[in-house]
Amino acid sequence: MAEISSELIASARGWLRITTESRDEEIEQVLGACLIDLSNGGVVVIDPADPAIQQAMKLFLKSQFGYDNNAERFGKAYEYLKYSLALSGDYNTEADDGETD
């Protein structure tokens, strides 16, 4: 599972328009839940620096925090993106490291 860095938490604060660090623990827990949900949904390649994965995290956070009173809309968008990632060859298989048995 990908590590949730302090830089990622800081980015998440910005996505949610939160200016204080008082909710960092909650943000970290929700990000962790998002990464687990992506994995359970069939996404194998989960790199928090990848723009599509970041978009999934943004949508998941906004749905969980009730951002802008559009939680349901963000939740649906997250689910559609998760399905798309799970069906994509770039995200549903491990990278081949070139080794053969």
Kindly report, residue by residue over 15-71, the tens digit of the pLDDT.
Answer: 999 999 999 999 999 999 999 999 999 999 999 999 999 999 999 999 999 888 899
To the nearest 10 degrees (0 to 180), the angle between helices 6-15 and 24-40 is 100
Residue 96 lies in a domain: no
To the nearest 10 degrees (0 to 180), the angle between helices 51-65 and 24-40 is 120
Residue 38 lies in a domain: yes
Helix (H), strand (E) at residue 65: helix 51-65
Residue 1 lies in a domain: no
d(CA 83, CA 17): 27
Does pLDDT of 99 surpass 60? no
Asked if 16 and 67 touch (Cβ cutoff 8 Å), the reply is: yes
Does pLDDT of 98 surpass 80? no
Q: State the total domains in the chain.
A: 1
Q: Range of 59's domain?
A: 24-87
